[in-house]
Amino acid sequence: MKPVRHPDAPAPGDPLGAHYEHCFGCGPGQPHGLHLEARAGEGVALTAEFTVQPAHQGAPGLAHGGVLATALDETLGSLNWLLRTVAVTGRLETDYVRPVPVGTTLHLAAEVTAVAGRKIYSRAVGRLDGPDGPVAVRADALFVEVKVDHFIDHGRPEEIQAAMSDPDQVRRARAFEVNP
Ligand SMILES: CCCCC/C=C\C/C=C\C/C=C\C/C=C\CCCC(=O)SCCNC(=O)CCNC(=O)[C@H](O)C(C)(C)COP(=O)(O)OP(=O)(O)OC[C@H]1O[C@@H](n2cnc3c(N)ncnc32)[C@H](O)[C@@H]1OP(=O)(O)O
Protein backbone atom coordinates (compact mmCIF):
# COMPACT_ATOMS: atom_id res chain seq x y z
CA MET A 1 0.00 0.00 0.00
CA LYS A 2 1.09 3.54 -0.73
CA PRO A 3 2.28 5.28 2.47
CA VAL A 4 0.05 8.06 3.84
CA ARG A 5 1.57 11.14 5.44
CA HIS A 6 -0.11 11.86 8.78
CA PRO A 7 -2.16 15.10 8.64
CA ASP A 8 -0.28 16.43 11.69
CA ALA A 9 3.18 15.57 10.36
CA PRO A 10 5.65 18.48 10.57
CA ALA A 11 5.50 20.81 7.53
CA PRO A 12 8.06 20.33 4.76
CA GLY A 13 11.30 22.01 5.80
CA ASP A 14 10.55 21.79 9.53
CA PRO A 15 13.20 20.12 11.71
CA LEU A 16 12.07 16.85 13.29
CA GLY A 17 14.24 17.22 16.39
CA ALA A 18 15.48 14.30 18.47
CA HIS A 19 13.13 11.48 19.50
CA TYR A 20 15.22 10.72 22.57
CA GLU A 21 17.79 12.88 24.41
CA HIS A 22 20.32 10.02 24.67
CA CYS A 23 19.81 8.43 21.24
CA PHE A 24 23.18 7.59 19.66
CA GLY A 25 21.82 8.73 16.28
CA CYS A 26 20.04 12.00 17.08
CA GLY A 27 20.26 12.75 20.82
CA PRO A 28 21.72 16.12 21.79
CA GLY A 29 22.82 14.63 25.15
CA GLN A 30 24.98 11.91 23.61
CA PRO A 31 28.59 13.23 23.51
CA HIS A 32 29.93 10.82 20.86
CA GLY A 33 26.62 10.41 19.06
CA LEU A 34 25.94 11.38 15.46
CA HIS A 35 23.75 14.40 16.31
CA LEU A 36 21.92 13.73 13.07
CA GLU A 37 19.42 16.44 12.17
CA ALA A 38 16.41 15.54 10.03
CA ARG A 39 13.89 17.81 8.29
CA ALA A 40 10.50 16.84 6.94
CA GLY A 41 10.15 16.68 3.16
CA GLU A 42 7.08 16.38 0.92
CA GLY A 43 4.97 13.24 1.22
CA VAL A 44 6.54 10.60 3.43
CA ALA A 45 10.11 11.71 2.80
CA LEU A 46 12.77 13.66 4.64
CA THR A 47 16.34 14.88 4.47
CA ALA A 48 19.02 14.71 7.15
CA GLU A 49 22.60 15.77 7.74
CA PHE A 50 25.38 14.21 9.74
CA THR A 51 28.96 15.49 10.03
CA VAL A 52 31.54 12.73 10.59
CA GLN A 53 33.60 13.40 13.73
CA PRO A 54 36.99 11.90 14.72
CA ALA A 55 35.11 9.67 17.23
CA HIS A 56 33.34 8.02 14.24
CA GLN A 57 36.47 6.62 12.53
CA GLY A 58 36.99 3.02 11.44
CA ALA A 59 40.06 3.24 9.20
CA PRO A 60 42.31 6.27 9.84
CA GLY A 61 40.49 9.41 8.72
CA LEU A 62 37.46 7.51 7.41
CA ALA A 63 34.00 6.93 8.83
CA HIS A 64 33.31 3.49 10.31
CA GLY A 65 30.83 1.50 8.20
CA GLY A 66 28.71 0.73 11.26
CA VAL A 67 28.45 4.43 12.03
CA LEU A 68 27.30 5.09 8.46
CA ALA A 69 24.72 2.29 8.86
CA THR A 70 23.60 4.05 12.05
CA ALA A 71 23.16 7.31 10.15
CA LEU A 72 21.03 5.50 7.56
CA ASP A 73 19.07 3.64 10.27
CA GLU A 74 18.38 6.86 12.18
CA THR A 75 17.33 8.71 9.01
CA LEU A 76 15.02 5.87 8.00
CA GLY A 77 13.66 5.55 11.54
CA SER A 78 12.78 9.26 11.54
CA LEU A 79 10.38 8.66 8.63
CA ASN A 80 8.02 6.89 11.01
CA TRP A 81 7.26 10.20 12.71
CA LEU A 82 5.74 11.42 9.43
CA LEU A 83 3.39 8.41 9.62
CA ARG A 84 2.96 8.89 13.40
CA THR A 85 3.87 5.26 13.85
CA VAL A 86 6.27 3.83 16.44
CA ALA A 87 8.41 1.25 14.68
CA VAL A 88 11.77 -0.50 15.02
CA THR A 89 14.22 -1.64 12.39
CA GLY A 90 13.65 -5.27 11.37
CA ARG A 91 16.04 -5.30 8.42
CA LEU A 92 18.64 -2.87 7.11
CA GLU A 93 20.55 -3.59 3.90
CA THR A 94 23.43 -1.20 3.25
CA ASP A 95 25.55 -0.45 0.17
CA TYR A 96 28.85 1.35 0.72
CA VAL A 97 29.70 3.08 -2.56
CA ARG A 98 32.40 5.62 -1.62
CA PRO A 99 34.55 6.13 1.50
CA VAL A 100 33.40 8.99 3.74
CA PRO A 101 36.25 11.07 5.26
CA VAL A 102 36.19 12.56 8.76
CA GLY A 103 34.92 16.13 8.56
CA THR A 104 32.52 15.31 5.73
CA THR A 105 28.86 16.25 6.03
CA LEU A 106 26.75 13.40 4.74
CA HIS A 107 23.55 14.61 3.05
CA LEU A 108 20.87 11.98 3.49
CA ALA A 109 17.47 11.64 1.82
CA ALA A 110 14.92 8.96 2.69
CA GLU A 111 11.39 7.95 1.77
CA VAL A 112 8.83 5.35 2.72
CA THR A 113 8.07 3.28 -0.37
CA ALA A 114 5.24 1.05 0.92
CA VAL A 115 3.29 0.03 4.01
CA ALA A 116 1.83 -3.45 4.46
CA GLY A 117 0.11 -4.05 7.79
CA ARG A 118 2.79 -3.48 10.45
CA LYS A 119 5.59 -3.50 7.86
CA ILE A 120 7.04 -0.21 6.62
CA TYR A 121 9.40 -0.37 3.64
CA SER A 122 11.79 2.51 3.09
CA ARG A 123 15.00 3.53 1.38
CA ALA A 124 17.70 6.11 1.91
CA VAL A 125 20.73 7.53 0.14
CA GLY A 126 23.68 9.50 1.55
CA ARG A 127 25.67 11.92 -0.64
CA LEU A 128 28.96 13.78 -0.26
CA ASP A 129 29.50 17.52 -0.91
CA GLY A 130 25.81 18.49 -0.88
CA PRO A 131 22.33 17.16 -1.59
CA ASP A 132 23.20 16.54 -5.26
CA GLY A 133 26.73 15.24 -4.68
CA PRO A 134 28.08 11.76 -5.41
CA VAL A 135 26.37 8.83 -3.67
CA ALA A 136 28.43 7.40 -0.79
CA VAL A 137 25.92 5.06 0.91
CA ARG A 138 22.49 3.59 0.24
CA ALA A 139 20.10 1.47 2.25
CA ASP A 140 16.84 -0.41 1.97
CA ALA A 141 14.99 -1.09 5.19
CA LEU A 142 12.02 -2.81 6.73
CA PHE A 143 10.64 -1.27 9.91
CA VAL A 144 8.04 -3.11 11.97
CA GLU A 145 5.39 -1.20 13.89
CA VAL A 146 5.43 -1.91 17.63
CA LYS A 147 3.40 -0.84 20.63
CA VAL A 148 5.01 1.35 23.28
CA ASP A 149 5.05 -1.85 25.39
CA HIS A 150 7.98 -2.98 23.21
CA PHE A 151 10.19 -0.44 25.00
CA ILE A 152 8.62 -0.95 28.43
CA ASP A 153 9.04 -4.74 28.18
CA HIS A 154 12.59 -4.72 26.82
CA GLY A 155 14.21 -1.46 27.96
CA ARG A 156 15.88 -0.76 31.30
CA PRO A 157 13.38 0.70 33.78
CA GLU A 158 15.59 3.66 34.72
CA GLU A 159 15.87 4.92 31.14
CA ILE A 160 12.17 4.21 30.43
CA GLN A 161 11.10 6.23 33.48
CA ALA A 162 13.40 9.10 32.54
CA ALA A 163 12.12 9.10 28.93
CA MET A 164 8.50 9.10 30.12
CA SER A 165 9.13 12.20 32.22
CA ASP A 166 11.08 14.07 29.53
CA PRO A 167 9.91 17.70 29.77
CA ASP A 168 10.23 18.11 25.99
CA GLN A 169 6.65 17.49 24.88
CA VAL A 170 7.40 16.89 21.22
CA ARG A 171 10.06 14.34 22.12
CA ARG A 172 7.67 12.62 24.53
CA ALA A 173 4.98 12.56 21.89
CA ARG A 174 7.38 11.05 19.36
CA ALA A 175 8.21 8.30 21.83
CA PHE A 176 4.72 7.50 23.00
CA GLU A 177 2.04 8.58 20.51
CA VAL A 178 0.71 5.80 18.32
CA ASN A 179 -1.57 7.01 15.50
CA PRO A 180 -3.23 9.73 17.61
C1 LIG B 1 7.83 3.72 27.33
C2 LIG B 1 9.17 4.38 26.96
C3 LIG B 1 9.46 4.35 25.51
C4 LIG B 1 10.71 5.14 25.19
C5 LIG B 1 10.96 5.06 23.75
C6 LIG B 1 11.72 6.24 23.30
C7 LIG B 1 11.78 6.50 21.97
C8 LIG B 1 11.19 5.50 21.03
C9 LIG B 1 10.32 6.15 20.00
C10 LIG B 1 10.48 5.98 18.74
C11 LIG B 1 11.75 5.44 18.36
C12 LIG B 1 11.71 4.04 17.90
C13 LIG B 1 12.83 3.51 17.48
C14 LIG B 1 14.13 4.22 17.54
C15 LIG B 1 14.27 5.16 16.39
C16 LIG B 1 15.31 5.29 15.64
C17 LIG B 1 16.48 4.46 15.82
C18 LIG B 1 16.62 3.71 14.59
C19 LIG B 1 15.74 2.53 14.63
C20 LIG B 1 16.37 1.40 15.40
O21 LIG B 1 17.55 1.20 15.38
S22 LIG B 1 15.34 0.34 16.29
C23 LIG B 1 16.49 -0.75 17.15
C24 LIG B 1 16.91 -1.95 16.35
N25 LIG B 1 15.82 -2.88 16.13
C26 LIG B 1 15.40 -3.73 17.07
O27 LIG B 1 15.86 -3.75 18.19
C28 LIG B 1 14.29 -4.68 16.67
C29 LIG B 1 14.48 -6.05 17.30
N30 LIG B 1 13.48 -6.97 16.75
C31 LIG B 1 12.25 -7.10 17.27
O32 LIG B 1 11.92 -6.53 18.30
C33 LIG B 1 11.29 -7.95 16.53
O34 LIG B 1 11.93 -8.89 15.73
C35 LIG B 1 10.30 -7.13 15.63
C36 LIG B 1 9.49 -6.13 16.49
C37 LIG B 1 11.09 -6.35 14.52
C38 LIG B 1 9.32 -8.07 14.92
O39 LIG B 1 8.83 -8.97 15.89
P40 LIG B 1 7.26 -9.23 16.13
O41 LIG B 1 7.14 -10.50 16.92
O42 LIG B 1 6.61 -8.00 16.65
O43 LIG B 1 6.65 -9.43 14.68
P44 LIG B 1 6.87 -10.58 13.61
O45 LIG B 1 8.12 -11.35 13.86
O46 LIG B 1 5.58 -11.32 13.50
O47 LIG B 1 7.09 -9.69 12.26
C48 LIG B 1 6.05 -8.89 11.74
C49 LIG B 1 6.19 -8.93 10.23
O50 LIG B 1 7.49 -8.40 9.87
C51 LIG B 1 8.27 -9.39 9.19
N52 LIG B 1 9.68 -9.28 9.62
C53 LIG B 1 10.12 -9.07 10.88
N54 LIG B 1 11.44 -9.01 10.88
C55 LIG B 1 11.86 -9.17 9.61
C56 LIG B 1 13.12 -9.22 8.98
N57 LIG B 1 14.24 -9.05 9.68
N58 LIG B 1 13.17 -9.40 7.66
C59 LIG B 1 12.04 -9.55 6.92
N60 LIG B 1 10.80 -9.52 7.47
C61 LIG B 1 10.72 -9.35 8.79
C62 LIG B 1 7.66 -10.72 9.57
O63 LIG B 1 7.93 -11.70 8.60
C64 LIG B 1 6.19 -10.36 9.68
O65 LIG B 1 5.66 -10.28 8.36
P66 LIG B 1 4.21 -10.87 8.00
O67 LIG B 1 3.23 -10.09 8.87
O68 LIG B 1 4.03 -10.60 6.56
O69 LIG B 1 4.26 -12.32 8.36
Q: Ligand 1: which atom is nearest the Cα of residue 164?
A: 2
> Under the phi-then-psi rule, with left for phi > 0, alpha for psi from -120 to 50, and beta for the rest, what region is 77?
alpha
Three-class DSSP labels, 88-116 = EEEEEEEEECCCCECCCEEEEEEEEEEEE
Superfamily of domain covering 1-46+61-75+84-127+139-180: Hotdog Thioesterase (3.10.129.10)
Q: What is the pLDDT of residues 50-81, one digit of tens each?
A: 999 999 999 999 999 999 999 999 999 999 99
What is the CA(139)–ligand 1 centre distance, in A? 17
- Bridge partner list, 108: 48, 126
Are 66 and 72 within 8 A, CB to CB? Answer: no
Domain coordinates of the chain in residue numbers?
1-46+61-75+84-127+139-180
- For 8-41, b/e burial (b = at least 16 CB within 10 A) is ebbeeeeebbbbbbebbbbbeebeebbbbbbbbb
Beta strands in the chain (DSSP E): 37-40, 45-51, 87-96, 105-116, 119-127, 135-145
163 lines ligand 1 (CB under 6 A): yes
Q: What is the pLDDT of residues 32-54, one digit of tens each?
A: 999 999 999 999 999 999 999 99
Q: Ligand 1: which atom is nearest the Cα of residue 151?
A: 3
Position 175 pLDDT exceeds 90: no
Of 123, 104, 105, 103, nearest to 113 by C-alpha is 123
Q: What is the pLDDT of residues 116-144, one digit of tens each?
A: 999 999 999 999 999 999 999 999 999 99
Ligand 1 test: best mutation among 21, 82, 88, most atoms within 8 Å of CB? 88
Name which residue sits closest to atom 8 of ligand 1, judged by CA.
175
Position 180 pLDDT exceeds 80: no
Spatial distance between the Cα atoms of 34 and 27, rounded to a whole number of angstroms: 8
81 lines ligand 1 (CB under 6 A): no
117 lines ligand 1 (CB under 6 A): yes
| pTM, 2 dp | 0.95
Report pLDDT for 179.
42
